[in-house]
Structure 1
Amino acid sequence: MIPATFSLLAQAAPTTPAWSFQTAIIMITCNLFVIAIGRYAIQKPGAGPALPFSLPGLFEGFGVPELLATASFGHILGAGMILGLGNAGLL
């Protein structure tokens, strides 16, 4: 037998904000923020394959693994920011 509190929690669905220009700006800002931090925090940059396109001098030695890692974390941070701001009623 399933407890009543569990069935009540299973029925609860969080409201998510609709995609808009404001949510896009939040996602882009979070990604750029994490990429900027990752540029200085990654201890061995350029250890993997290089990107197939050139970047400005600021990102010299920034390869595919660094870009994938920072963009992945940026999307996680951005999704958390969008869901948090949406649940707070600010989006």
Structure 2
Amino acid sequence: MSSILLAAQPTVPATPAWNPTVGVIISVSCIVAVLLTTRIERPQVGPKLPGLPLSVPAFIAAMAFGHLIGVGIVLGLTNIGSI
């Protein structure tokens, strides 16, 4: 193992185990991302989703963005000791 990785290992914060709080945070951040996606310039380019005013690519992008934001929130809250 590289000595750089061994030197950086003690500074990496612990990652939380999955629990319902983590699931709720990720879910809420994904819903907020979908709601924000309806405000983009062209949310309906490509195949449409039947129940939402979004296209399939916009929905997938919103879910990916929501997961990124949710993971950041979960790691931040874990780092300050709230979760």
Q: Which TM-score bucket, shorter chain as reference?
A: 0.7 to 0.9
Determine which structure has more spread, i.e. the larger CA radius of gyration.
1
Structure 1 unmatched runs, 5+: none
Q: Within 5 Å, which residues of 2 pair with 1:47-62?
A: 47-51=45-49, 54-55=50-51, 59-60=52-53, 62=54
Match of 1:80, as an amino acid? G
Which residue of 46, 55, 76 corresponds with 1:63? 55
Q: Offset of 1:14 from its aligned partner? A: 2.1
Match of 1:70, as an amino acid? A
Aligned residues: 80
Structure 2 unmatched runs, 5+: none
Measure the CA separation in 2 of the matches of 1:18 and 1:65: 30
With normalisation by structure 1, the TM-score equals 0.78
Instruction: Note the aligned Cα RMSD (angstroms).
Output: 1.7
Percent identity, aligned pairs only, is 31
Measure the CA separation in 2 of the matches of 1:65 and 1:17: 30
Q: Offset of 1:45 from its aligned partner? A: 2.0
Match of 2:55, as an amino acid? G
Q: Offset of 1:24 from its aligned partner? A: 0.3
Q: Offset of 1:8 from its aligned partner? A: 2.1
Match of 1:26, as an amino acid? I
Match of 1:31, as an amino acid? C
Aligned partner of 1:23 in structure 2 is 22
